[in-house]
Amino acid sequence: MSAARPPLATLLLVALNVGLYLRPLGSPEKTCLSVQGVWALGEWQRLLLAPFHHLGWGHLGLNMGALLWLGAGLEGRVGSAQAGWILGGMTLLGGLVHLGLNAGLAAVLRDPWRREHCAVGFSGVIFSLEAMEGLLAPVTIVTLGSVTITTKWLCLAECFTVTLLYPSSSLTGHLSGMLVGVALALAATPLGLATPLSIHL
């Protein structure tokens, strides 16, 4: 029996996040993702910078712990190369959806704060992974009589719990990640016939 391969794509992303925390390419104000910063000022590099910058060791540690757990599971099923493409796609798509969601909310609610709201951190990708995994391979958490609770809805509960515990966290960033994860899961499972191994970007 051969030894399991290390999750290279996940470990590379963790190393990149830790490295940029220790040696950031800019302050949070210069790297965070916002409608104002990207669309109004034309600073498109924020799409790549924002996910890899964090506000503190706690922020970084929670995100990297979740990435190691979820990313390693994904790599174990689809391999490092495909997992790298999926994680990269989640990173960029999550940022674009985040911008679109905040721009839409700013227009509908007539709330300019939505255009200025700025976010950093890898948690959007974490919520993408968790939403995708929850739909592709839901796991039963507990059964209470005739009610079964699965991981299918766990990321949604976590999203609102994080918002309640940390009101300054980016709700739209987390929701954007979840939307990307759901979209990828649906693309991977047309009519529910495919398996997690059929994920392609």
Domain assignment present for 118: yes
Rounded CA-CA distance 47/49 in Å is 6
Domain assignment present for 52: yes
If you search the block for the tokens 């794509």, which residue do you land on? 9
Per-residue pLDDT at 154: 80
Domain assignment present for 1: no
Residue among 34, 123, 128, 170 flagged as catalytic: 123
Per-residue pLDDT at 147: 67
Domain assignment present for 147: yes
Give catalytic status of residue 123 as yes or no: yes
Domain assignment present for 3: no
Domain assignment present for 133: yes
Residue among 54, 59, 98, 174 flagged as catalytic: 174
pLDDT < 50: residue spans in the chain: 1-2, 191-201
Domain containing 152: what range?
8-198
Domain assignment present for 190: yes
Domain assignment present for 2: no
Per-residue pLDDT at 107: 93
Neighbours of 194 (CB within 10 A): 15
Q: Which parts of the chain fold into alpha helices (H)?
A: 8-22, 28-31, 35, 46-49, 57-78, 80-109, 113-116, 123-136, 154-165, 171-188
CATH of the domain at 166: 1.20.1540.10
Per-residue pLDDT at 198: 43
Q: pLDDT tens digits, residue range 150-161?
A: 777 788 888 888
Total domain count, the chain: 1
Tally DSSP H helices, then E strands, for the chain: 10, 2
pTM: 0.85
